[in-house]
Amino acid sequence: MSATASNLPSIVAWSGFGAAFVFGAMAQRANFCTMGAISDIVNMGSWGRMRMWLLAMAVSIAGTSALQATGQVDLAKSIYVRPSIPLMSLIVGGFLFGIGMTLGSGCGNKTLVRIGGGSLKSVVVLAFLGISGYMTMKGLFAMGRVAWLDPLALDLGSRGVAGQDLASLAVAAFGLEPRIALIGAATVVTAAILFFVFKDREFRANVDHLLGGIVIGAVIVAGWYVTGHVGFAENPDTLENTYFGTNSRTLESLSFVAPVAYLLEILMLWSDKSLGLTFGIAVVLGVIAGSLAYALATRTFRWEGFVSTEDTASHVVGGILMGFGGVTALGCTIGQGLTGVSTLAVGSIVAVVAIVAGSWATMKYQYWRLEQAG
């Protein structure tokens, strides 16, 4: 590779670290957590943190669609908008991830943020999440995923549809020009979300929630730009345009389950020169670093450990389920909930619904158990 091309993997990775650092600090400040947002609704009827998550979603959709519409990135090459929708994998994986994040006191994002804040519990969760995730990608768990779940897919390509995103569906259904369909779909979805988010006066007055939604949504957009534009260049060895610095060999934005597995891989196989720091791995480290920096700066860093054997078991099981579910569903509450949804992919919407359903069902079960014990 040329000098310029040889530097691109490092540029992409360190840019990812910087963006994730901002993400981690803001998530720590605003208490950004999808599981927590669902818990607030189920237990208290409060929609504040859910509106923050939805605001981040709206910002990510608007910004990502703008990058696509102006030709800065090509989302058709991402894993999210491929015409085949692995419905069973998305539903089963998403539901199990939702159960896991509830048992583990937070999703992959929150686990990393809690580590930065001093949670040793979350270190254990992260270890089991990474091991389980790696087993689901390349190990024992992968056998069942590949044999029983992934084949049960809806192939839109056989029906002449270019992708599973809402814009491609609009093109196929109404014969619209692709760019017009993209702008129209993004505008409608973004406007609907923003209307729901900002109709609440209490949310409009909460500066942390507003900043959290806007900044985290913008970080998702930045991730797409870094991997899809900055890191996209000609490989002088093959003379083909290549995405540098990502594990998937295509453009990515923030996601946490598979990257944690890749982090464990590089730590265990450090002498393997074919492995290196990638965007996803750097993002994992960046979130922890950003959260740690904010916790230290505000003197909120606190060591936290398990309180009982049952607490330990719950978090271990939660980590395992998140690892399997996150890989199977092609992402977590960030990887699918923000990054995937920012592409307007139908599969991402299915995965998010399944994740929320799994978390909601688990919380209801936990509440029932408490009532029975009382």
- At 117 the pLDDT is 98
For the segment 347-357, the average pLDDT, to the nearest whole number, is 98
- At 177 the pLDDT is 97
pLDDT, tens digit, for every residue of 20-58? 999 999 999 999 999 999 999 999 999 999 999 999 999
Q: Is the pLDDT of residue 297 over 90?
A: yes
Residue type, 144: G
pLDDT, tens digit, for every residue of 244-271? 999 999 999 999 999 999 999 999 999 9
- At 3 the pLDDT is 45
- Under 8 Å between Cβ of 232 and 251: yes
The percentage of the chain sitting over the pLDDT mark of 90, rounded to a whole number, equals: 95
Mean pLDDT of all residues belonging to the chain:
96
- At 236 the pLDDT is 82
- At 1 the pLDDT is 52
- Under 8 Å between Cβ of 74 and 331: no
pLDDT, tens digit, for every residue of 192-213? 999 999 999 999 999 999 999 9
Choose among 214, 253, 210, 207: nearest CA to 230. 253
- At 125 the pLDDT is 98
- At 316 the pLDDT is 98
pLDDT, tens digit, for every residue of 78-109? 999 999 999 999 999 999 999 999 999 999 99
Phi/psi of residue 71, nearest 5 degrees: 80, 15
The percentage of the chain sitting over the pLDDT mark of 70, rounded to a whole number, equals: 99
For the segment 318-339, the average pLDDT, to the nearest whole number, is 98
Give CA separation, 141 vs 56, 129, 314, in Å: 32, 13, 20
Beta bridge partners of 304: 119
For the segment 52-80, the average pLDDT, to the nearest whole number, is 98
Choose among 359, 153, 332: nearest CA to 340. 332
pLDDT, tens digit, for every residue of 144-182? 999 999 999 999 999 999 999 999 999 999 999 999 999
